[in-house]
Structure 1
Amino acid sequence: MTQAPFIHRFEPGQGASLLLLHGTGGDEHDLIPLARQLAPQAALLSPRGRVLENGAPRFFRRLAPGVFDEADLRQQAADLAQFVRAARQRYGLEGLPLYALGYSNGANMASALLLLQPALLDGAVLFRPMLPLEVHPLPNLSGRAVLVAAGRFDPWSPPGRVEALLDCLRRAGAEVEAGWWPAGHGLLPEELMAARAWLARRIP
């Protein structure tokens, strides 16, 4: 069955663009204010996840907390990549750097895009991610820059699953910077400042 296209919001900018991927229960508006804070000049492409979990939008199905439907994840990642490529053409973003900015479920989707669609993104800022799936063989992520912001007390993104993601990305050749923050699943002002500085070094 063909799914509906991605409802999305686009805001023009200059230079690089950010692909905004919200958490469970969010929508295409959720991360716009944060993105404007972190990268004021960037163009913003913000799709809404098409999977509903008790009415809450997500980017892919899960079978239980922390247990993902891998077949759906792979299909949703392929569909999202196709949408992003078409949107870049539509909005005149082709040839410009593209970074994902994801939170929670959105960060897991961004991780999946890096692993399954390695040519799509130049890098990513991942707030509260974990390894979403195993990929063999690993893609070549040389030249890709990834910032991971993890919470030491996060019950939804266990440290072991975060470390597995870091190891996977590094073995794939990505330039990975990780911050472990004294927080749960919520974000701290200090890590937002660190993310802004990280993006400023990469987005003109």
Structure 2
Amino acid sequence: MSGLTHEFHDGVPDAPLLLLLHGTGGGPGDLVRLAREISPGSPLLAPLGPVSENGAARWFRRLAEGVFDHEDVVARTGQLAEFVTAAREEHGVADRRVVAVGFSNGANIAAALALLRPEVLDEAVLFSAMLPLPESPQRDLSGSRVLLSGGQRDPMAPMVAARDLVAVLRGRGAEVTEHWHEGGHQITFEAIDLAKRWISAPPR
């Protein structure tokens, strides 16, 4: 078995596999409707965050709002990477292009996965993300694509922290598309439409 509680929804042949990563307090079903909007034919792999914060599921521990336990980020990223590798084999989608789709804490673990374990992730759509680690290995991300959508008034993932993530990804060679909206900690209709077009565009 692949190690994390999860849901799997089958899709059409050759469509990319979407790895759905929920926000704090969410669950595997949270992003399914969104995923069907942005890539209707994709198989969906939706795990449950393994960390409990007062009963709310998360992907890694935090010490305070916006202050992450960096050792746990690294450990949980490794756990997620191993889960993705095993689950792809388990569900018969090991040959698919993998696109992580994450919101908030889920977007942060997706960013960590892109930085620390790029071999398991081709692309990522990050809604309301920020830099999850102050330092990460200088891995070559020249084959990676990332779409980041953030709010200019987001109190939980401030623009400065989101732009730090963009700078780190680009510094390692990733192709990053930025989308900034005037709202806060949310996924906008404009961002959903952009994500749909971005995923359907063939990678370089």
Question: TM range, normalised to the smaller chain?
Answer: over 0.9
Q: 1:44-59 alignment to 2 at 5 Å? A: 44-59=44-59
> Does the 8 Å CA contact 2:125/2:148 hold for their aligned counterparts?
yes
Alignment pair present for 1:154 and 2:193? no
Aligned sequence identity (%): 46
Q: Which amino acid aligns with 2:83?
A: F
Structure 1 residue 93, shift from structure 2 partner: 1.1
How many residue pairs align between the two structures? 200
Alignment pair present for 1:117 and 2:129? no
Q: Which runs of 5+ in 1 are unaligned?
A: none
> Does the 8 Å CA contact 1:115/1:135 hold for their aligned counterparts?
no
> Does the 8 Å CA contact 2:10/2:44 hold for their aligned counterparts?
yes
> Does the 8 Å CA contact 1:13/1:41 hold for their aligned counterparts?
yes
Structure 1 residue 136, shift from structure 2 partner: 4.2
Structure 1 residue 185, shift from structure 2 partner: 0.4
Q: Give the Cα–Cα distance (whole angstroms) in 2 for the partners of residues 9 and 137 of structure 1.
A: 31
Q: 1:200 is matched with which residue? A: 200
Q: 2:10 is matched with which residue? A: 12
Q: 1:31-180 alignment to 2 at 5 Å? A: 31-180=31-180
> Does the 8 Å CA contact 2:51/2:59 hold for their aligned counterparts?
yes
Q: 1:26 is matched with which residue? A: 26
Structure 1 residue 149, shift from structure 2 partner: 0.2
* Alpha-carbon spacing, 1:137–1:59, altered in 2? closer, same or farther (3 Å): closer
TM, length-normalised to structure 1: 0.95
Q: Which amino acid aligns with 2:167?
A: D
> What does the per-residue CA deviation read over 1:117-158, in whole Å, with 9 as the maximum and x for residues that have no partner?
011101100000000003343211111110000100000001
Q: Which runs of 5+ in 2 are unaligned?
A: none
Structure 1: which 4+ aligned runs deviate by more than 2 Å? 134-137
Q: Give the Cα–Cα distance (whole angstroms) in 2 for the partners of residues 87 and 137 of structure 1.
A: 25
Q: Please provide the CA RMSD for this pair.
A: 1.3
Q: Which amino acid aligns with 2:8?
A: F
TM, length-normalised to structure 2: 0.95
SS of the residue 1:162 aligns to: helix
Q: Which amino acid aligns with 1:173?
A: G
Q: Give the Cα–Cα distance (whole angstroms) in 1 for the partners of residues 176 and 109 of structure 2.
A: 17
Q: 2:190 is matched with which residue? A: 190
> What does the per-residue CA deviation read over 1:66-89, in whole Å, with 9 as the maximum and x for residues that have no partner?
100011111111011101100001
SS of the residue 2:78 aligns to: helix
